[in-house]
Structure 1
């Protein structure tokens, strides 16, 4: 009993959450999981994190989370061991967050950034975590502080791909790095990751092609049976090389701030296009409240029809559409205001307009949230 009580005293508890509500302004509008009925689920979440020091250098951290978008089912987001090699270097092993973006480490902690939600123009890779190892190192060079992280591991999970449908995805031999340089109020960041074995199952994916509901897996099989195995392999996301690259910058002098990120995601030889994403954000703080605006854009590269040439004109039309089913070209504009209602809680309001350039449709979402840490 004494040992158990001592271990309990050594556990550091913390947590965060977001109670969010939103609705679109049009009867046919849908954006970020919301429609024209007031909904509290898509943006609400609660998380609890525990850290236990096993020795002066070794610790274990786990984080469980309940998301409204997943019916508040509990799931393990993080679970890893950390060994402190030196004062400036550490190594983590277990289930970790993939550090694609500037705010990846705080992706779910809405209290830590000025948006109500991170810009969906950029923060749209459909998976966040991986199982593996990461090495972190901090260094001071003149007036600069450098933080470098190197990761390696695998990812296997169900992801949202087309219209909310899920597919089994697997990334093997994932490696990469990110480096941040901090000088006074300026932060600059670069990141690059790659895998030589990326797989996305098409067995459960369906889409509308020329007015017909088509299963992507069955469609690829039909191409193979028709003697077009080469075209099927070009479209199939199986054992392909995937790369992610990103750059970001943020200037924040605690009075006003301006920042931007640009990313490119590519899964070679597949129906997934090169995804090009960017945003620009700026804001001003006033005592206990802040005002900010963000413009974001997705500009995916449309597949060239010549890449998938088939002899039958009708089949060619199907192939061309299948090659571009996940292409998006959308501009997002949002305006938000935040109010500090407690030392560790903030009330946020946001209005976002999305303009889909491919379908010539637009949606407007109004949302509010209380985001907090404890």
Structure 2
């Protein structure tokens, strides 16, 4: 397998990008921005040994809602810079700050792309990790109907990776599609799992492919990697991820469904805290969403579910599972801005022996509202 050191590759990429900016004075630089100002709170929640259940908005930022209104968990801002240096070479950078991380700016993208042919592009550096259908623009929430991506599915905290990606598009009459192959590494935190330890995703080898026409699209993704906690490379576990998406869009009607599955050959340590060290070994998730746009309004409804295999040291394996109904609406009140409101009702379907330990940690109802805009 190919091992890519994240820091070294990123440094090389940034250095090359800087060299390009210094020597190509006629570069065409575009700057795009996006932001979300969102507030919310839980309005009903189950009880746990630590208190009332919280609602985790995603696994990458780690924001949570409680019964007090807050604007931090879902709010974010971002700037994207794209420099076209001519002859098929471009440099891309993206800065994102989230309320869950005190709005500190993070350079989450920094990569170079070279157009090998009109239909094939090679990219290298730090870029979006194409696990999910909306991965490439998950932070640009203006781009989709939800207030946020379905938290039950968009739960793995791996939004970026450092490596190399080859993308090829094709057009066969009424059918279009693309194929992407990628290798690299990533470091991440299990923010969606309280008390989790950082882990490394190394020797990533994966690919995804989409095919469709003007009203239907299918997408597949699969990858494998070595996964381990920092300073524990000698006990790295083989990990695998698979996902499939189907999307139907005709007129004002949108129907989209996504299913994902991941597993670790050796359970990944979630927390070592006594008295019950906890391990994660597999998970499945999925959603089905229906939205209909008439004029400037888009009401929508989504059903999602997640099941996670968790092991407690000395107690064995348990199943943590929940089902969520999401009802919301989008109002495009401005050409570059959309107001959104969303209600989530999540019910804990975990096994009784898991609930005896964790309580109803996955039972929580949340109301959130906000404005997404681009500039």
- TM-score, normalization: structure 1? 0.81
Alpha-carbon distance, 1:156 to partner: 2.0
Alpha-carbon distance, 1:254 to partner: 3.6
- Judge conservation of contact 1:174–1:194 (CA < 8 Å) in 2: yes
Deviations 1:231-273 (A, max 9, x none): xxxxx99311000000001101141111101100111121322
Structure whose alpha-carbon radius of gyration is higher:
1
Please, which of 319, 336, 346 is the counterpart of residue 328 of structure 2?
A: 336
* Structure 2 residue 223 is matched with structure 1 residue 176: no
- TM-score, normalization: structure 2? 0.81
Indicate the SS of the match to 1:111.
helix
**Separation in 1, partners of 2:286, 2:154:** 9
**Separation in 2, partners of 1:344, 1:254:** 21
Count of paired positions: 322
Please, which of 341, 357, 363 is the counterpart of residue 349 of structure 1?
A: 341
Alpha-carbon distance, 1:301 to partner: 4.2
**RMSD between aligned alpha carbons?**
2.3
* Structure 2 residue 229 is matched with structure 1 residue 200: yes
Indicate the SS of the match to 2:314.
helix
Indicate the SS of the match to 1:91.
strand
**Aligned residue for 2:6?**
none
**Aligned residue for 1:31?**
55
- Runs (5+) with no aligned partner, structure 2: 1-20, 46-51, 57-63, 268-278
| Structure with greater proportional strand content | 2
Query: Higher relative CO (CA 8 A, sep ≥ 6), structure 1 or 2?
Result: 2
Listed as ranges, the matches of 1:272-287 within 5 Å are: 272-287=280-295
| Alpha-carbon distance change, 167 to 88 in structure 1, aligned in 2, over 3 angstroms | same
Q: Which moved more, 1:287-296 or 1:54-63?
A: 54-63
Alpha-carbon distance, 1:150 to partner: 0.7
- Runs (5+) with no aligned partner, structure 1: 204-235, 304-316
**Aligned residue for 2:247?**
250
| Alpha-carbon distance change, 178 to 9 in structure 1, aligned in 2, over 3 angstroms | closer
Listed as ranges, the matches of 1:98-109 within 5 Å are: 98-109=129-140
Alpha-carbon distance, 1:340 to partner: 0.4
| Alpha-carbon distance change, 285 to 161 in structure 1, aligned in 2, over 3 angstroms | closer
Indicate the SS of the match to 1:25.
strand
Please, which of 177, 186, 190 is the counterpart of residue 216 of structure 2?
A: 186
Please, which of 295, 301, 305 is the counterpart of residue 293 of structure 1?
A: 301
